[in-house]
Amino acid sequence: MPRLALLSVSNKNGLVELARSLTQDLDFEIVSSGGTAKALIEADIPVIKVSEYTGSPEILGGRVKTLHPKVHGGILARPDQAADEKDLTDNGIRPFDLVVVNLYPFEQTISKAGVGLAEAIENIDIGGPTMIRAAAKNHQYVTVLCDPNQYDDYLVVAKANQGVPPLAFRASCAQQAFWHTANYDCAIAQYLTQTQTLADQPNESVALPVNYAINGQLKQTLRYGENPHQAASWYQSGAIASGWAAAQQLQGKALSYNNLVDLEAARRIIAEFPSDGQPAAAVLKHTNPCGVAISNSLSSAYRQAFDADSTSAFGGIVALNQPIDKATAEALTGTFLECVVAPGCHEDAKAVLSQKKNLRVLVLPDLISGPSQTVNVIAGGFLSQTADNLRQDASQWTIPSELKPTEAELAEMLFAWRVVKHVKSNAILVVRDNQTLGVGAGQMNRVGAVKIALEQAGAKTQGAILASDGFFPFDDSVRTAAAAGIKAIVQPGGSIRDEDSIKAANELGLIMAFTGTRHFLH
């Protein structure tokens, strides 16, 4: 008797070719349902419809098609066990050798604009995961395929082994099947959690769920991690590529682990400066900004960001908030850089950049959207928090000093505040004319961070602005800043000794702004 295969797929890539080879080369009969059966019939491939095989019609508008003992009995049967063999015979059930199933496109559905909860619910597959899990559980006897990329490998090994792939192959397919259903369930749970949270708390910060899962599909095995002795991989979240998985790499070597970490840090900074505003550029090294600037042209913004710390910028990562033009491309090729990312790249700029063949150039049209939550792994578990996506405008600040900022000074203080948010704590930033001049990053005390930032800025501190990601617990840093020529300080406020800092600012003729929000970045 011919072998029996069950085919029921939403993704029909490679379906006809697989089915034709099964029937012509491997002596299979095919049981199928719905759109899959229709596609095979149209291709003149013989098919037994599920309703004919089970003797039961599809019901509930197609919600129930394959949930039947003749289907699941055939998948779960162990033909070498007498009791199972008797059950098959008594109930007129044939065992399946092959199950080919992939699921309703849930993630593709919810990614469409205007999709409501009702439509999303109808795209939750029930029969598909049940068949996949059953076949994966019974992989000692059944092969399960849930991805069209598996079809060619299956046909090769099946033809080489009298139609029965070796157990190691079936076990590998079973592993992939369980990951497939796990990722599918995870996407549904996350969507429903988010939908319910927004319904319950429309005007509040999103609460984190009681259960939390991280799921992804392997996109690329990386050469190594942070160091050569560390293995590393890059996983894509969800079935639909987004973020860096959706970026187009125009040229250069494959991205490394450290490249991707730095690129994400660069994206977070440049997201502070949308493309419909002034041209902006950020140069990073080891996730900290070497230089950030906004200007009247993209090339000017890049040059100012680079000049802020040209020594550290060597081998850095550059993010731009507007498409790369020829003038900016020419500036970018003036030194060694690891990566450049922008929302676009003009054709004449591509020609210039191609002269630097090792320079990785990426186009990511959406540099604004990022993760809504961040995860940090610890021993025995992990921590999750909502991302620090808070956007403030200066109208929310308090100006406790006697000297008040002009509109231009306030705008520049806001620039400083948006950038210091992305510097490792303790963080101090010195800026002037919308260009960073000194960065004190990741220091164990704020006094040290102030000293580093002022020393790096040098004589340019005269008339500059200083930003701090946390409050000043004493007035010593205020006095140090004033001695260096700083004219304005922006900080969260909130210290029990705020009055000391305000008093020092008034005494020394400084402007001081309290944002009311801190931005620690550990």
- Please confirm, yes or no, whether 137 is among the known catalytic residues: yes
CATH of 248-363, one of 3.30.70.330, 3.90.600.10, 2.60.120.580, 3.40.140.20: 3.40.140.20
> What's the pLDDT tens digit per position in 303-326?
999 999 999 999 999 999 999 999
Banded pLDDT at 210 (limits 50, 70, 90): low
Do the two domains 248-363 and 396-514 of this chain adopt the same fold?
yes
pLDDT confidence tier of residue 51, bands split at 50, 70 and 90: confident
pLDDT of amino acid 207 = 55
How confident is the model at residue 196, as a pLDDT? 66
Q: How much is the mean pLDDT over the chain? A: 90
**Per-residue pLDDT for 204 more than 60?**
no
Q: To 10 degrees, the CA torsion angle through 356, 287, 427, 459?
A: -10
Residues 6 or more apart whose CB falls under 8 angstroms from that of 366 comprise: 246, 343
pLDDT of residue 364: 96
- Decide if pLDDT at 288 tops 90: yes
The fold adopted by the segment(s) 3-191 is: Rossmann fold (3.40.50)
Q: Please state whether beta strands 217-222 and 232-236 pair in parallel, antiparallel, or not at all (unpaired).
A: antiparallel
Within a 10 A sphere around the Cβ of 146, how many other Cβ atoms?
A: 28
b vs e for 480-500, b when ≥16 Cβ sit within 10 Å of the residue's Cβ? ebbebebbbbbbbbebeebeb
Tens of pLDDT, residue by residue over 224-271, are: 999 999 999 999 886 678 889 999 999 999 999 999 999 999 999 999
- Residue 488 φ/ψ, nearest 5 degrees: -150, 145
Mapping DSSP onto H, E and C, the string for 51-115 reads HHHHCCCCEHHHCECCCCHHHHHHHHCCCCCHHHHHHHHHCCCCCCCEEEECCCCHHHHHCCCCC
Q: How many CA atoms lie within 13 A of 83 on its CB side?
A: 1
> Which among 12, 286, 350, 503 is annotated as catalytic?
286
The Cα–Cα gap between 520 and 522 comes to 6
Residues 302 and 327 sit within 8 Å (Cβ to Cβ): no
Question: What pLDDT is attached to residue 202?
Answer: 45
350 carries an active-site annotation = no
Distances (CA, A) of 43 to 13, 36, 49, 152: 14, 11, 15, 19
Helix (H) or strand (E) holding 452: helix 446-457
Of 261, 219, 255, 213, nearest in space to 240 by CA: 219
Segments making up each domain of the chain, as ranges? 3-191, 248-363, 396-514
Catalytic residue among 137, 219, 346, 350: 137
For the segment 331-354, what is each residue's pLDDT rounded down to a tens digit?
A: 999 999 999 999 999 999 999 999
Over residues 481-496, the mean pLDDT reads 95
Strand extents, DSSP E, 302-364: 316-320, 337-342, 360-363
Per residue in 400-431, pLDDT (tens digit) is 999 999 999 999 999 999 999 999 999 999 99
User: The tokens of 452 are what?
Assistant: 């580093």
- Could you give the 3-state DSSP secondary structure of residue 310? helix
Beta-bridge partner residues of 8 = 101
Structural fold of domain 396-514: Cytidine Deaminase; domain 2 (3.40.140)
Distance between CA atoms of 402 and 509, rounded to whole angstroms? 8
Higher pLDDT, 213 or 200: 213
Asked if pLDDT for residue 15 goes beyond 50, the answer is: yes
Q: 3-class DSSP state for residue 197?
A: helix
Contact 469, 521 (CB under 8 A): yes
Distance from chain centroid for Cα 66:
35
Of 410, 445, 452, 411, nearest to 288 (Cα)?
Answer: 452
